[in-house]
Amino acid sequence: MIPGEYILKEDPIEINANKRTIVVEVTNAGDRPIQIGSHFHFFEVNKKMNFDRMKALGMRLNIASGTAVRFEPGEEKEVELVEISGNKILYGFNNLVNGAIVSSNPEEIQKQLDQFLKSVEE
C-alpha cells in the first residue's frame, strides 16, 4: 500500500437504497441563484422556490452527502427527494417544523407554511 492511496470496491455505491423517493418540479422565482445542500429539509427551503411544499415534508434532496443543487433565477427543474431517515426530528432550517415530523399536526404545519410564504407576496 502506498501512503495516501485509496483502495476502492469495484461495485458502484448506491445511496439511499430502499428509501421512499418522490419527484417534484421546482422553480426559482427569485432574482438570485439559490443553492440547496444534500441534507436540508426541502420543505423549508428559500421562499422564492416554488413547488408543492406539503409533498416535500420530511424529504431532502436525493444526492450524495456534502453536495448541493443550484437553481439559477427563473430556472425550472425536476428534482428527486428522499425521505429523511432516523427519528425524523428536525430543528432549525426556517423554524417550520421544530420537532418530530410524525407527531406534527398537518394543519399547524400548513398554518406555519402559509405565514412563512406570506412575506413573499408582500
Q: Let me know the angle formed at the C-alpha of 14 by 35 and 84, rounded to the nearest 5 degrees.
A: 55
pLDDT digits (tens, 9 = 90+) for 23-64: 999 999 999 999 999 999 999 999 999 999 999 999 999 999
Q: In angstroms, what CA-CA distances link 71 with 18, 37, 81?
A: 27, 12, 15
Looking at residue 79, what is its pLDDT? 98
Residue 72 — very low, low, confident or very high, per pLDDT cuts 50/70/90?
Answer: very high
What are the structural domains of the chain? 21-121 (2.10.150.10)
Looking at residue 122, what is its pLDDT? 55
Query: Span 86-113, mean pLDDT?
Result: 83
pTM of the model: 0.83
For the chain, what is the mean pLDDT? 91
CB atoms within 10 A of CB 78: 9
pLDDT digits (tens, 9 = 90+) for 18-29: 999 999 999 999
CA–CA separation, 56 vs 58, rounded Å? 6
Residues β-bridged to residue 69: 36
Question: DSSP 3-state assignment of 74?
Answer: coil
For residue 83, count CB atoms less than 10 angstroms from its CB and return exposed for 0-12, middle for 13-18, buried for 19 or more. middle
Enumerate the H helices of the chain as residue ranges. 106-121
